[in-house]
Structures are given as structure tokens and as C-alpha cells.
Structure 1
Amino acid sequence: MEDDQQGQADDIHVVNILPLAEELREQLAINHSSEEQLGGGSPSCPITIAEVGRLTRNVDAAMYDPHHISIGPYHLLRNPDLVRDAEKIRSLEAILSAASGGTVLEEYVDELERLEGDARRCYAHSFPEITSRVFVRMLLLDGCYLLAQFGTIGGGGRRSHAGADMANGHVEGGTLLAPAAPSGDRLETLAVVRDVFYLAENQIPLFILDKILQINVSDPSAHAADWILWFVQAILQTYSVASLPSPRPGNLLHLLHMHLQPTNPPSSDTAGDTTGGKKLGRWRTATEYYFVGVTLKPRPLDGAVGTVRSVLDVHLDSGGGTLEIPPLIIDAETWRLLHNLMALEQRNPGPAAAGSHVTAYCVFMSQLACTAADVDLLSSKGIIAHALGNNGEVASRFADLCKGILFSLDDPRGNYLRGTCQALEERFQSRARRWMAWLGRKYFDNPWLFIGLLAAAVGLACTVVQAVYAVLSDK
């Protein structure tokens, strides 16, 4: 009887193994197929558009979500109320009205249908729940909306009141606004710029805009980035004075990111270790560096080749005594832009993709200015300028800036400021330098104390000389 029961148990065991193996084999096949469909990193799609990681989003989800309009598939599903279909249809009409003679709607649809597979491969998800018809329609309407708003194409949309004259506008809150726009339109323009340029998830591949533009102007060599570039430069004029480098950007946020590169980052083979093999724990605060005698100076953007071209161009002099930092002008949108640029880098690491330069800079600033005293010091030096409530609020924002971000301070390939951090740490650990810095601040910052110290030193010297002469005279 026991043998029969054992045999039945073995039979059940054997029967269950085969379906499980088949199930896992099917899942492996599905996974392999998905990896082939997804992609990023291909010539047509250099940047993967991905959702922001949960740990990062949980710090402040509002930094990553659109509030006015959705672009691309992520928020098409998540925030259908922000699709604004009627506005995008009007943009399509404006694009068609401005198209070269004989261009019909079917040409745009046919070309984007051919690019659908490439476009889907630019996302970290394949979106099987979005049909081909809906996906292509989204690409066309979103692409037309972006070109009509920011590509000087057509006469419709928000830019009809100023057209190309918006190039003579001004920047408010980091965003180009038309001088003639009513206040309501100005706020709406700011909301649109924030949503379509700053957000890592709210994007479509830039080659979709290229294709729509090429059909529109009958020029297969036209690139949307060239048409939007003046707008991008206006957005970033307080962050960078660099021109657009190559290769071509993957989306609008990547277009902003490509302007924020350190001018002369050290290569990994020249970033020597000056700390005797010790690991770097963190940056010190601005007040700590000041305590050991480091002079903090602003380093204005000048645009000259090989000099200061973006806020990332932090420089420490050869003696390690003067740290020059380009001024950072902080407004309500600064944090959103920095958070999303880091999210872009987190999903696209490595020099062949987005790299990690912005993340390295944000880690530096988040630790340099993490207390109200640090922000007060940096503000007094002209390195930080803000119009927020108080220095404590700015410090709190800096302290939270890199929460949930993965970054190694000791990686010479990912941290272009590693050598600077090492040199400053060596200075911070030097007892002699700390003592001299304390002596300098205690006595030399106060002219009366300095005069008293000088008089005491002269008196001591005179006493020593007098004693020497007295000894010699006795002989």
C-alpha cells in the first residue's frame, strides 16, 4: 500500500515537471524577443526613454510628471486627461498648411508607420497594449505639436502671436517667453516648456520630428534640432554657452543635456589617485572647505573655446587653494531640470550614451550646499543666486537632490570631478593647513588683531636681539 502511494506521488511529481519547464521555456523566449525589440543605443535611437526608477520617484514624484500636456506613450496611458488631443489636431493642421506644395497627410502617416518599430525600440517598454494605429497616431500628433510650438513651422498654436519674433523674447524662470504674450499665455508657455523639454519620461524620439520636418520642407537633410536650437539656447543661457555638439540628440531632454558638458573633463588614465589609495567618502561642505583655507570664487561663463562654457566647469587651481565654481541661478524649475537630467543619465550611463557628468555635478553641489550656512556662504561669494523663501529651503533642496541616485564618487570614468575631490580632501586632512587657516581667520581677518600680533612679534624679536647682544657683550 505504501509502495502504491509512493508511486502515485512520483507520478504527480513527474507530471508537474514538464509543464513547468515548458512554461519557463516560453518565458525565456518572450524575454529574448522583448530584448530584441527594445533597445536604445542603436544609431537611430542613441538614448533609451525609460520610466524614472521607483526609489528616485518616491523622493518627489512631482519632479517627473507632466502637469499640462503628455508627450509619448508613458503618460498617454498614465495620464489620459493630459493628452490634449484638440490642441495637437490644431498643430497637425498648422503643419499641413505650411507644408510644401502637393504634400498630403498620407505621406506623414506612411513614413511614420515605417518608423514605428525604430520608435518603439527607443523605449524601455514595448507597449503591447498600444496598437500600431494608436502608436503611429500618437507619434504624428505629438511630433506636429512640438514642431508647431518650438520649430518655427506653421502659423498656428501659441506662437502665432509672435512667430519668429519670439527669438527676441526674454527668459523668465529659465524659459523663453514672448514679449507680447498675455500673462495667461506666458504661464501656459512656461508649463509647456517644462513638460516637453524637462521631463525624462515625457518624450518621443527626435528622429520622428526630423521625418515630419523633412516631409514638411521637402529637405531630407533637415534636422529638427537645428530648428529648435535657438529656443534651447534661450532656456539654457544661464547654464551653458556651448553650441550643440555631435552626435545628434535622441530627444528634447537629451538636446538640453548635450549642452551641459564639462569643457575639459580629465580622462580616466590621467585621473591619478592622490589620496594614497583611500576611498573618497563624500564631498565636504562649503563651510568645511572654507575652514581649511579654500577660497571660493565664482567662475563666470565666457563662451571662449576651452574655457568656461557650462555650469559643470568647476576648477581647482594647482595649489588646491582656490575653488572656482560657475554661478548657479536657481528658480522654481532648476530642480526639475536637474532631477530629470540625472534620470536620463541613470538609464543611459557610459560615455557612448549620456554619461554621468550632470550627476557628478549634482552630487558635488548637493554636498557642498546642504546646510543653510553653506548656501549663505556660497551666496555671499556669488556662486549661488536664488529668489526662494530662504537659504534653508535651498539647502534642503540640495540635500534631497541626489536621493535614490546610484553614483560612485571613486569611478574616474563616471566622476569627472574625482581629481578635484581628492585634492580638496588631501588639503582638508592636512593639520598644518588647517592650523594656518585657523590662524589666518582669527588674526588676519581682523585688522586690529593683526596689528596687535605684528606688534607682539616685533616686540619678541627685539627682546631676542637684546638678549643676544647682552650675552655677547658679557664675553
Structure 2
Amino acid sequence: MANRPKGHGREKIKIQEYTKELEKFKDTQRMLKFQGHPRNFLAILVGDHEPYEDNVNGKSFLPFSKKYLKTTVETMASEKQRCRISRVPDHIRGVNPALFAPAVFPIGPYHAHVGAGGAPERARRLKEQCLDEVVRLSGSKRGDFLAQMRSLVKRAREYYTEDIDMEDEAMAEMLLLDGSFVLASLHGTARLTRGSSTCGETESSDCANSFTCLEESDEENQVAVANTDVDSWHHFNVARDLFLVENQIPFFVVQKIYELLVKNHPRADRRAVSAVEAYVRDVMAVYAKGDGEAAALQPHHLLHLSHMYLRPIEQLSPWSDDGKCSVTTVGRLRRATQYRGLMVRFRKLDIGGKAAPRSILDLAFRGGALEIPRLEIDGDTWRQMANLVLLEQASPHVGLYVTAYCAFMSQLAGTADDVALLCESGIIEHHLGGDGDVVEGFRKLCDGIIFDANDDAYNYLRPVYQALEEHCRRRTPKLLRWLRAHANCPNPWMVLGVLTIITLLCFIVQQLHHATLRNPAT
């Protein structure tokens, strides 16, 4: 009979908790039998580090670290709700195809044979140079990496919603090439690089900066390199192409390549997300303040990682003085100019700082003021937003945060006058042809999406909708609301002022009339 692990009965609750997690996944026992005895898994979780001995087979199993096994359970849990890599629906692609197609660097099977002009061949050469550098730094052979990719092909296929028309060997080579390029281009190899880059003389201006030498390993230095030393052509196209919804590979491919890369570096961090997080944080700096939290999570691909930075602060529901909210359902928002007429003030917030919002999604309504983080809009904004919206539409379990934000802003900035008001308030700063282009951009982001503003599970801004409507219903003087509804004037305060002056003039005339009647001689 097998020996019971030491301390087997000490923490039954913890054992039961993780046993439930294990029961959710059919492949758990199969996976663990190659790495250790299943009972060792439970023993490690309760702090017992002695190996479990199976007397029947006469075999002892060495236990793993608690951290590794716990991470294994978390990884399997995340696999259950993976962000699958999907195609862009035709009716959405037709609005603006350029928002979703890579210009220079195709990644993954959907765009494996697609490119513009001479870009495919140039991109192929750069990818080969990145792979050569990864292999050189690892001290292993290319065949070792390729063997690992072959073992991941089946799992990788499951991440794509479409059938991949590629042979397993071709797909393994593609995963290795693209995974190495992603890792190198996002400075995942920077901390391991010493001396000068070995990418070559002629093409080094395009690729070598991906392996820029870092004597220091702090994240600030990596960000500085991404901003200054990286060739502008390479940096621009990497930041543009590697965060498209169709242009992705599963992140566990990058993780496996990184594990092989650092296996001979015992002091290196084993998590690939920690190696590339600084670069992604720099790309997302316009939209969110990176605080390192995303590095502790398990992204499914790069676009999913960028989405993690935008997770908004939880909103609180508005309550009236009697403890109940009179607004149960929310409809379409009023426009910004209409809210101004109803005494709603607009307040710009800057991302960063202790009390500042963490991302552009952290909207709030406080004290009669709608607080909105500043949004800088350029030609790249719509591309980033459109791909994040499609990620949420395909994987709603990640949260429809960006979808809710775009729906909110498209209604608030419904006309060029509304955009002008938001620009005047400092909330929007755009570099487009005109205010109408901003209106059109938000409108196109919401074309063809599925979104229910009354669904608490997906509309994180529902409390803001409710608070705005509550304010307009209960705290705005009825006279001002009547004037706003019936007077053809954008500012009811102006109408009220005119009425006040007319009333005073009438009062003065009346007083003069009474004075004349009392003293006819005068």
C-alpha cells in the first residue's frame, strides 16, 4: 500500500479546493504522470516536500515546487477561457480594411503569405536574423527549438477559429520564426545581449536594434531604448502590425521559445511576459498607465496583453437620497452640448499620478461633472481601438470595456459641435482634418458590434449612464429643462437672463405707472 504524504490531513480545505480545479481538466492526470505522481501535487500544495513513493511500481517521484504546480493549475484554468484568434467579419472589414491588415510583418497563419510590395521578403529576412540571434544566445541548436514547436502545433491550432491549411511541419517552422521575431522585436532578448549585435552589416539597421545592448537591466532603460535607439521604420511597423486581431500567435509559443533561450541563464526571469512587458507598456502609454500588473497575468497573445492594460476601475452605482436609484434602465446618451445645457460640467483627467485614472476607460461622474481622461486621437487610434473591440466581440469573457467606451464616446461626441466642446474642455485632442472626422471615427468603431448598455456584466459604464440621467431628472431646475427643450438656443442660461431683464423692465415700468397715479402733478 502506498505511503500517505506527510501532513496529508493538515489542510484538507486547500486540497479540496485544488482538487476541484483538477477535476475540471481531463488531461491533468495524464500531464502529471510524466512529471510526478498526482498525490505529490496535493502534498506540495499543503507544504509537504517529501516525495511520494508508489510501492506497487517501486518508483519514487520527486515533487515540484509549489509555485510551479500552482501556476500549472492557473494555466489550465486560463486555457478554458482562451482568447481565440479569429478572422475579422467581412461586414466590419469592409468599413476600413487597412485597420486589420499587417503592412510589413505578417504574424501567424492568417497572413503567412500576404504582404505589400517587397515587404514579405524583407520581413522574412528580418525574422531569420531574429531566429539566428535567439539560437545563438541560447547556446542550443535550431533543431531543438523546432522540436519543441512540433509538440505545440496541435495546441496552437486550437487557438484559431478558422481551419489552418498548413502542414504540421510548415506550421512548426512558422511558429518558431514568428515567435522568435516577436520575442526579439519586443526586446525579450535585450537582457541577455552583451557586446555588439551580430545581426550583420547591411540589414542591421532594420533588425539589430531589436537586440540593442543593455548593460543595465532596469525597465526604464528598455523603454528608453524602444523610444530612441530602435530604428524608426522597424519600431513603427512592429508597434503597428503586432497588435492586430488577425496577426497573432498564441503567447505560449513565445513562452516556450523564451524558456529555451534562458535555460542556461539561471538568474533570468522564466516568464516571457516579464521580458516584453516594458515594450508593450511603452506602446500602450498613450492609453494607459503601466504599473507592472499585466506582467503578473497570463496573456493568450499580444493583443490580449495590451487589452489587460486597459482594465478600468470598478464603477459604483449611483443612489439617490432615499437610498434607491430612480434610473433602472439606460437608453441612448445625450450629446455633450445637450449635457452642457443641463448644467453638466466636463472635466479633463490626465492619466498617471496617485489619484489619476489608470487608463482612458476610467470615466466617472462626480458632483455634477463628467470626468473623462484625455484622449489623443491620430490616425493610429482607430486601428488600435478597432482591433481591441473585435477582440472583445470574439472573446466577451475578457470584458467589453473598450466596446462600452467606444459606444459611450460615439454618443457623447455625436456631432462636430460636441467634439468642439470636448476639445475646448481638453478631453479630446486630435490631429485629424476636422471635428467631423472624429465623429465619423467613433461611428465606424461601433458599426456592426453587439452591445447591450443595460447588461451589467458587460457595460462597466452603466453606473455613469445612470448617474447622468439621475442628475438630469432630479437636480436640474424644471424651468431650465423646459427652456432647453423649447427655446432654440444652445444655452438656456442666456434665455433665462433675457427673461430676467424683461421682467425687471416690466417691474420698473409698473412702478413708474403707480408713482404717476399717486402724484398727478408730477
Same fold (TM over 0.5): yes
Q: Distance in 1 between matches of 2:77 and 2:93?
A: 27
Contact in 2 for aligned 1:293/1:437 (Cα 8 Å)? no
What are structure 1's unaligned runs of at least 5 residues? 1-39, 468-475
Listed one character per residue, the Cα deviations across residues 184-224 of structure 1 (whole Å, up to 9, x for unaligned) are x4134212210012x01100011111111111111696122
The yes-or-no answer on 1:94 pairing with 2:130 is: no
Structure 1's 280 and 74: CA in aligned 2 closer, same or farther, altered over 3 A?
same
Contact in 1 for aligned 2:245/2:387 (Cα 8 Å)? yes
Quote the residue 1:316 is aligned against. 365
The yes-or-no answer on 1:113 pairing with 2:150 is: yes
SS of structure 2 residue aligned to 1:358: helix
Quote the residue 1:12 is aligned against. none
Structure 1's 442 and 148: CA in aligned 2 closer, same or farther, altered over 3 A?
closer
Q: Distance in 1 between matches of 2:317 and 2:213?
A: 42
**Range moving further from structure 2, 375-384 or 157-166:** 157-166
Quote the residue 1:381 is aligned against. 425
Quote the residue 2:458 is aligned against. 414
Structure 1's 412 and 164: CA in aligned 2 closer, same or farther, altered over 3 A?
farther
How many angstroms does 1:304 deviate by?
2.6
> What is the aligned counterpart of 2:387 among 331, 335, 340?
340
Contact in 1 for aligned 2:187/2:222 (Cα 8 Å)? no
> What is the aligned counterpart of 1:239 among 278, 282, 287?
287
Quote the residue 1:33 is aligned against. none
Quote the residue 2:315 is aligned against. 265
> What is the aligned counterpart of 1:284 among 334, 339, 345?
334
Quote the residue 1:124 is aligned against. 161
Q: Distance in 1 between matches of 2:282 and 2:276?
A: 10
How many angstroms does 1:459 deviate by?
9.9
Structure 1's 217 and 41: CA in aligned 2 closer, same or farther, altered over 3 A?
closer
Structure 1's 291 and 267: CA in aligned 2 closer, same or farther, altered over 3 A?
closer
Contact in 2 for aligned 1:286/1:378 (Cα 8 Å)? yes
Contact in 2 for aligned 1:360/1:415 (Cα 8 Å)? yes
How many angstroms does 1:281 deviate by?
3.1
Contact in 2 for aligned 1:41/1:47 (Cα 8 Å)? no
Quote the residue 1:147 is aligned against. 183
SS of structure 1 residue aligned to 2:78: coil
Structure 1's 349 and 43: CA in aligned 2 closer, same or farther, altered over 3 A?
same
1:201 counterpart letter in structure 2:
E
**Range moving further from structure 2, 392-401 or 62-71:** 392-401
Q: Distance in 2 between matches of 1:56 and 1:262?
A: 26
Contact in 1 for aligned 2:362/2:372 (Cα 8 Å)? yes
Structure 1's 458 and 267: CA in aligned 2 closer, same or farther, altered over 3 A?
closer
| Same amino acid, percent of matched pairs | 33
Listed one character per residue, the Cα deviations across residues 246-271 of structure 1 (whole Å, up to 9, x for unaligned) are 53111111111000011123589xxx
Listed one character per residue, the Cα deviations across residues 143-191 of structure 1 (whole Å, up to 9, x for unaligned) are 11111111241534645348156965989xxxx854356xxx4134212
Q: Distance in 1 between matches of 2:245 and 2:313?
A: 24
> What is the aligned counterpart of 2:259 among 214, 230, 241?
214
Tell which has more relative contact order, 1 or 2 (C-alpha 8 A, sep 6+): 1
Alignment of 1:63-462 (within 5 A): 63-77=99-113, 79=115, 82=120, 84-99=123-138, 101=139, 103-127=140-164, 129-153=165-189, 155=197, 156=199, 158=206, 160-161=208-209, 163=212, 178-180=227-229, 185-197=231-243, 199-218=244-263, 222-243=270-291, 244-245=293-294, 246-266=296-316, 274=325, 277=328, 279-304=329-354, 308-317=357-366, 319=367, 321-350=368-397, 354-428=398-472, 431-432=478-479, 434-435=481-482, 453=500
Structure 1's 451 and 292: CA in aligned 2 closer, same or farther, altered over 3 A?
closer
TM-score of the two chains, using structure 1 as the length reference = 0.75
Q: Distance in 2 between matches of 1:273 and 1:63?
A: 44
Contact in 2 for aligned 1:47/1:122 (Cα 8 Å)? yes
Contact in 2 for aligned 1:46/1:249 (Cα 8 Å)? no
Report the number of matched residues: 407
Q: Distance in 2 between matches of 1:460 and 1:164?
A: 82
Quote the residue 1:15 is aligned against. none
SS of structure 2 residue aligned to 1:316: strand
SS of structure 1 residue aligned to 2:376: strand
SS of structure 1 residue aligned to 2:148: helix
Contact in 2 for aligned 1:236/1:256 (Cα 8 Å)? yes
Structure 1's 420 and 41: CA in aligned 2 closer, same or farther, altered over 3 A?
farther
Structure 1's 358 and 276: CA in aligned 2 closer, same or farther, altered over 3 A?
closer
Contact in 2 for aligned 1:72/1:139 (Cα 8 Å)? yes
Q: Distance in 1 between matches of 2:115 and 2:228?
A: 32
What are structure 2's unaligned runs of at least 5 residues? 1-74, 515-522
TM-score of the two chains, using structure 2 as the length reference = 0.69
Q: Distance in 2 between matches of 1:126 and 1:452?
A: 70
Q: Distance in 1 between matches of 2:324 and 2:436?
A: 35
